[in-house]
Structure 1
Amino acid sequence: MHRSASRTPPMGWNSWDSFGTTVTEDEVLANAQVMAEQMLPAGWDTVVVDIQWYEPTARAGGYNDHAPLLLDGDGVQMPVEARFPSAAGGRGFGPLAARVHDLGLRFGVHLMRGIPRRAIDAALPIPGTDATTADIALPAGHPAARCPWNSDNLGLDFSDPASQAWLDLQIERIVGWGVDFLKVDDMLFPYHHDAIEALAAAISRAEERHGRDVTLSLSPGTHLSLAHLDHLRRHADMWRISDDLWDRWEDLDAQFTRLARWAPHQRAHGWADADMLPLGRIGVRAERGQPRHSMLTAAERRTMLTLWNLGRSPLFVGGDLPSSEDDTLADLVNTEVLAVGRDSHNTTELLREDDLIVWGATGTGPREGTRWAGVFNTADGARSVRVPLTSTGLTSAQSPGAGAVTELWTGRAIDIDPADPYAVLELDLDAHGTALLCTT
């Protein structure tokens, strides 16, 4: 079993929203540099290379069927040297991981469930077994064999012990490069119990061999059910709860309901993930859309960050950091907002009426005694709202004991008496906007 190491929701950058399948070593390092210089002090510490770093013909805007993946002699994926020149000479991601580590950051890569079709076709011997890579894949007609949206791999047949042997070899080799974070896709829709357990076992063995913790992230989260919660907690650090999210209000709006379902179950070593933050400059060479600054408004950006932190979701920004706006970067490193995700518990949706949603959370650890409330306007126009203070969780008639109320995005003190059980908050909220309130 993989022993999850994430005591707080993981935070980092992922190449997908900006570069899709085509990110280069120089682009990874440029983003890592910005993270190290401007974001690491606020807790952002992981840089992830997303899908098809092993695909020589990768292109923006989709996948190539039966792509000519670059593999080593055991069928394990290798970085394409044209995009990752430091991988030359069979060094894999070792040199790039070392440079990221030198910046004080962690390094991650994306993998697909299963074994590459090219490895199957090559019938490579599996060390320590009498089998070859042609023997361990599920037959093409098996319902768990194929990923519905990517043709690179076939699922492994875990009734054959050689499948675990090959998976152990793959994960050990990749972790041996210095990889600290594995995002593994095509795991949750449908839910592949056997593949998750085998992967967790392989990671545990690699962690022991290399003396390093590895964070395991599972994707995608289409129709992911709480029925799997205990299994997920035993085998992973984080798991997606939706399909891919983009810079559209309807995508953000849908996450209110999902996070309301999962937030009460968030705790150390197991985090429901509301997906990447499509903030800053995205779409540079991505799967969807042209190069652009995020189409979310400034109000929607703050709503997203407020909801993700109140819901204690992992935070992985998808924008190209060197070319993103200063206002976006400033919001991403607002330490008072980030403290909500890191140092809260009892996070829950408290109220939902018409276009008004209220969330609450209480502090723990260094924030013991702090209370937070997020007040959200999901209407398409600006509006003034009135909310009884006791409906926010900031104070109550039974336990008033709260200090002054502050709005954390603006730093503005709210003119209200927290000890008054009849006090009413009056807030002016932008369309799709939020106020994040705090008392201590």
Structure 2
Amino acid sequence: MDSPGKERELGVRKKPICLFIALLAVLSGAASASEDISVSSIDLSKVRQDWGSPQIDKAVTGVPMSIGGRKFDHGVGTHATSRIWIDLKGGVERFVSWVGVDDNVRQGRGTVVFKVIGDGKTLYASPVMRRGDAPRPIDVSLRGVKTLLLLASDAENGIDSDHADWADARLIGAKSRPVVTAGPDEEAVILTPKPSPKPRINGARVFGVRPGHPVLYTVAATGDRPMTFSAKGLPEGCALDAQTGRISGSIARRGTYTVTLTAKNAVGAATRDLRIVVGDQIALTPPMGWNDWYTFTRSVTDKDVRAAADAMVASGMADHGYSYVNIDDCWMVKPGSDDPDVGGRPRDAEGNILPNKHFPDMRALTDYIHSKGLKAGIYISPGPVTCAGYEGSYGHEAQDAKRFADWGFDFLKYDLCSYRGVWKGDTPEEQKRPYTLMGYLINRQERDIVFNLCQYGNAKVWEWGEQVGGHCWRTAGDIGANPARYIAGFEENGLEKWAGPGHWNDPDYINIGFLGSPTVLTPNEQYTYVTLWSLLAAPMIFSGDMTKLDDFTLSLLTNDEVIEVNQDPLGKQAHRVAKRGDTEVWAKDMEDGSKAVGLFNRGEMQRRVTVKWSDLGITGMQRVRDLWRQRDIGAFTNSYGTQLPRHGAAMLRIWDAKQ
């Protein structure tokens, strides 16, 4: 028998053991505790979608959620394409939901495919769902899954009215609270090599001007400064400034003139031919430049525009062919405004339009831009007021066209806006009417003005834009503050036959870099954006903040081999030649007989993307060059393929290996 002392000693030992066992039981219970969490209760601020914002317990338009006539009180209303990335933290047992197209869209509109993806594996995929379809249930196991993606995508027919509901979406058996993220992290890798110190002549190889009109062409060239320029074969009436590389003057005789340009500095020289075409066509290559709208919107000033012109030169963008500095809306007077800076008389006694106080002297502004070797652009609406409510051209079209020419502008964006309030009906004829008039008036001016039709792709503008004097025309709505809408570029397939020298399809601006805040696009998406615009022969008009250009953004905008594809004199627009699952191949013919090719991974996981020679209509050994890295990859017999990350792109140029 133990002694009392021994018993007391054991008692002391027993208490900690019992406490430990009790604590272990509590901890074990806590570890096994789980809860069911509604997806709509999680912070959704990092969700990415191509229109609007995700709505909690409502459809994307803010109305009660309803699918196939069935009402739901809880869920997440999104718009395709939407991606809800969820870090499941400690793990989740199951995901359950009802999915479908919300009833709050017009009959016959809205087609969505819903997918549930766990750690890269598709756990559920719906068929194409349409308005009126009954909601479909989802119940999938998430055991062992770390990252969940709820994907609502279009059915390859555009995203119009694709209101996608995740109704009663819940995470069952969550060990800890999940977190919605922006998606996988990506490093902003610069692929574009730095320019050589030796001269390289860049930009367009062909330039159009009308007889007797002022010539303003700046030889774009990279390389160490100081640099001098010379030209052989300049037509009569033109001269080249050897220090700046600016060609000016006017040419009376019609014809095509081949001019040999030379740029020389202390470490070398470069020579290249330029074709000057004197005739009725201008904008023989897509315009390249900058527009203020997505940086300044309603707050733009003369000072901002001058700063952008300065930055275009200082950043080196002008050395790669960028030349237009374009003012968008809000430079005019705003009728009825109490703001002394923008209010007042919109026109003088003769009916001439007046700028507001943010723009004290328009002629001085264009002179400043021209002094940099750049060109100036302006904006107005054919309606009584612009989209922002400022003075429009309605009833003063002839005066405004002359005013813009007298001020020295080289580009006009004509934005439909309030004209819809005065037309006689939304018919193709009424859509054409204001553009036909202004196109005629612009063409009568004594300077070349590129005419940009902005009416959002209505009435199949690509079929008649050139006929009314347009040089480029918007093919879709605004990309807007959500640059993820760059995917609209993929909807250009089929429009390629309407594009060519002097007449270009325009899917909107390049919205990367800093636009009031850093772009939400991933680095791979930005590569895809610029690759696609270049292949489409779209106007390369950047709309980010020119004074806040970072090295990565600048590298995307100034890769000369990528720009060459956009500015190729043949003027072909790329089209899709292959689609395999989430991957696409686009291609265009180049003037030298080569093919420019874009490989795109539009999926959410890494994929191998391959271009087959049969896709391009070629055979035999072909030489392949990586344009972003500016290096040859090698020679291949039947195809070339590479691994691409989610939303990534590769840009190639392919020649017959015998060349």
Residue 451 (structure 2) aligns with: 216
How far does the alpha carbon of each residue in 1:50-72 deviate from its partner, in whole angstroms, 9 at most, with x for none? Answer: 0011146999xxx9xx9756332
The amino acid across from 1:382 in the alignment is: Q
Aligned pair partner of 1:84 in 359, 363, 378: 359
Residue 435 (structure 1) aligns with: 650
The amino acid across from 1:313 in the alignment is: A
Within the alignment, does 1:261 sit opposite 2:486 as a pair? no
User: Superposed, which structure 2 residues align to 1:392-403 within 5 Å?
Assistant: 393=616, 396-397=618-619, 400=620, 402=622
Q: Post-superposition shift, 1:353? A: 2.6
How far does the alpha carbon of each residue in 1:68-89 deviate from its partner, in whole angstroms, 9 at most, with x for none? Answer: 56332233332222x224x2xx
Aligned pair partner of 1:203 in 442, 456, 481: 442
8 Å contact from structure 1 (residues 233, 270) kept in 2: no
Residue 292 (structure 2) aligns with: 15
Residue 626 (structure 2) aligns with: 407
Within the alignment, does 1:109 sit opposite 2:375 as a pair? no
Residue 546 (structure 2) aligns with: 321
The amino acid across from 1:245 in the alignment is: I
Residue 46 (structure 1) aligns with: 324
The amino acid across from 1:7 in the alignment is: L
8 Å contact from structure 1 (residues 4, 215) kept in 2: no
How far does the alpha carbon of each residue in 1:187-213 deviate from its partner, in whole angstroms, 9 at most, with x for none? Answer: 7975522211111121122x23xxx10
How far does the alpha carbon of each residue in 1:98-152 deviate from its partner, in whole angstroms, 9 at most, with x for none? Answer: 0000000110111011345xxxxxxxxxxxxxxxxxxxxxxxxxxxxxx8x5544
Residue 402 (structure 2) aligns with: 172
Within the alignment, does 1:25 sit opposite 2:302 as a pair? yes
Residue 134 (structure 1) aligns with: none
8 Å contact from structure 1 (residues 67, 152) kept in 2: no
Structure 1 residues 374 and 201 mapped into 2: Cα distance closer, same or farther (>3 Å)?
A: same
Q: Post-superposition shift, 1:249? A: 6.2
Structure 1 residues 4 and 182 mapped into 2: Cα distance closer, same or farther (>3 Å)?
A: farther
Counterpart-to-counterpart distance in 1, 2:289 and 2:353? 23
8 Å contact from structure 2 (residues 488, 507) kept in 1: no
Residue 508 (structure 2) aligns with: 275
How far does the alpha carbon of each residue in 1:167-203 deviate from its partner, in whole angstroms, 9 at most, with x for none? Answer: 2122101210111111110179755222111111211
More strand per residue: 2
Q: Post-superposition shift, 1:216? A: 0.6
Counterpart-to-counterpart distance in 2, 1:412 and 1:248? 33
8 Å contact from structure 1 (residues 28, 49) kept in 2: yes
Residue 72 (structure 1) aligns with: 348
Counterpart-to-counterpart distance in 2, 1:68 and 1:357? 53
What is the SS of the residue equivalent to 1:101? helix
Q: Post-superposition shift, 1:153? A: 5.7
Residue 612 (structure 2) aligns with: 388
The amino acid across from 2:549 in the alignment is: S
Counterpart-to-counterpart distance in 1, 2:403 and 2:474? 25
What is the SS of the residue equivalent to 2:604? coil
8 Å contact from structure 1 (residues 386, 424) kept in 2: yes
Within the alignment, does 1:184 sit opposite 2:414 as a pair? yes
Counterpart-to-counterpart distance in 2, 1:69 and 1:21? 19
| CA-based RMSD | 2.8
Counterpart-to-counterpart distance in 1, 2:355 and 2:343? 14
Which residues of structure 2 form unaligned runs of 5+? 1-278, 421-425
8 Å contact from structure 1 (residues 94, 178) kept in 2: yes
8 Å contact from structure 2 (residues 585, 598) kept in 1: yes
Which residues of structure 1 form unaligned runs of 5+? 88-92, 117-146, 157-162, 283-290
Within the alignment, does 1:369 sit opposite 2:593 as a pair? yes
8 Å contact from structure 1 (residues 302, 433) kept in 2: yes
Structure 1 residues 95 and 255 mapped into 2: Cα distance closer, same or farther (>3 Å)?
A: same
Q: Post-superposition shift, 1:330? A: 1.7
The amino acid across from 2:476 in the alignment is: S
Residue 473 (structure 2) aligns with: 239
Residue 90 (structure 1) aligns with: none
Counterpart-to-counterpart distance in 2, 1:339 and 1:58? 47
More helix per residue: 1
Residue 287 (structure 1) aligns with: none
The amino acid across from 1:255 in the alignment is: G
TM-score when normalising by structure 2: 0.51
Residue 121 (structure 2) aligns with: none
Structure 1 residues 301 and 185 mapped into 2: Cα distance closer, same or farther (>3 Å)?
A: same
What is the SS of the residue equivalent to 2:485? helix
How far does the alpha carbon of each residue in 1:16-59 deviate from its partner, in whole angstroms, 9 at most, with x for none? Answer: 01000211112111111121231122111000110011146999
8 Å contact from structure 1 (residues 113, 153) kept in 2: no
Residue 256 (structure 2) aligns with: none
Residue 425 (structure 1) aligns with: 640
8 Å contact from structure 1 (residues 240, 272) kept in 2: yes
8 Å contact from structure 1 (residues 247, 279) kept in 2: no
What is the SS of the residue equivalent to 1:329? helix
What is the SS of the residue equivalent to 2:567? helix
Structure 1 residues 23 and 152 mapped into 2: Cα distance closer, same or farther (>3 Å)?
A: closer
The amino acid across from 1:260 in the alignment is: N
The amino acid across from 2:597 in the alignment is: A
Structure 1 residues 150 and 67 mapped into 2: Cα distance closer, same or farther (>3 Å)?
A: farther
Counterpart-to-counterpart distance in 2, 1:374 and 1:58? 50
Counterpart-to-counterpart distance in 1, 2:336 and 2:586? 42
TM-score when normalising by structure 1: 0.75
What is the SS of the residue equivalent to 2:576? strand
Counterpart-to-counterpart distance in 1, 2:409 and 2:498? 28
Residue 308 (structure 1) aligns with: 533
Q: Post-superposition shift, 1:408? A: 1.0
Counterpart-to-counterpart distance in 1, 2:645 and 2:344? 49
Counterpart-to-counterpart distance in 2, 1:278 and 1:298? 13
Larger Rg: 2
**Structure having greater relative contact order (Cα 8 Å, sep ≥ 6):** 1
Counterpart-to-counterpart distance in 1, 2:535 and 2:526? 14
Counterpart-to-counterpart distance in 2, 1:233 and 1:305? 29
| Residues paired across the two proteins, number | 362
Counterpart-to-counterpart distance in 2, 1:337 and 1:171? 35
Counterpart-to-counterpart distance in 2, 1:266 and 1:58? 41
Counterpart-to-counterpart distance in 2, 1:316 and 1:193? 24
